[in-house]
Amino acid sequence: MITRRRAVKLIGATTASVCLPIGSSRIFAAEGSPLMRAIPSTGEKLPVIGLGSALTFDVPSNSPKTNDITEVITRFVKRGGKVIDSSPMYGNAESLIGQIAGKSGVSKSLFIATKVWIKGKEAGIAQMERSLDRFQTRTIDLMQVHNLVDVVAHMSTLREWKSKGRIRYTGITYSEPQGFAEIERNMKSQRPDFVQINYSIADRGAAQRILPLAQELRMGVIINRPFGSGGVIKAVSGRPLPPWAAEFDCHSWAQFLLKWVVSHPAVTCVIPATNNPQHLEDNMGAGFGQLPDAKTRQRMAALFG
Q: What is the pLDDT of residues 267-288, one digit of tens each?
A: 999 999 999 999 999 999 999 9
Q: How far apart are CA 270 and CA 225, in angstroms?
A: 9
- Whole-prediction pTM: 0.90
Q: Do 302 and 249 form a contact (C-beta atoms < 8 A)?
A: no
pLDDT of residue 228: 84
Q: Does 25 map to a domain?
A: no
Helices (H), the chain: 4-11, 65-78, 93-104, 121-135, 151-163, 180-190, 210-217, 231-236, 253-262, 277-284, 294-302
- Domain span at 81: 4-15+31-287+298-302
Q: Does 97 map to a domain?
A: yes
**From the CB of residue 297, how many other CB atoms can be counted at a distance below 10 Å?**
21
Q: Does 139 map to a domain?
A: yes
Order the strands of the 36-38 sheet from edge to edge.
Answer: 27-28, 36-38, 45-47
Q: What is the pLDDT of residues 197-241, one digit of tens each?
A: 999 999 999 999 999 999 999 999 999 999 987 778 888 988 999
pLDDT band at 7 (very low <50, low <70, confident <90, very high): very low
Which of 16-20, 158-162, 260-264, 290-294 is predicted least confidently? 16-20
Q: Do 136 and 107 form a contact (C-beta atoms < 8 A)?
A: yes
Q: Do 43 and 262 form a contact (C-beta atoms < 8 A)?
A: no
Q: Does 21 map to a domain?
A: no
Q: Does 218 map to a domain?
A: yes
Q: How far apart are CA 268 and CA 218, in angstroms?
A: 11
Q: Does 293 map to a domain?
A: no
Question: What does the CA dihedral 182, 188, 189, 194 come to, rounded to 10 degrees?
Answer: 80
Output the domain CATH number for residue 210: 3.20.20.100
Q: Does 20 map to a domain?
A: no
Q: Do 76 and 280 form a contact (C-beta atoms < 8 A)?
A: yes
Q: Does 24 map to a domain?
A: no
Comparing CA positions, the residue from 290, 292, 271 lying closest to residue 87 is: 271
Task: Report the domain count for the chain.
Answer: 1
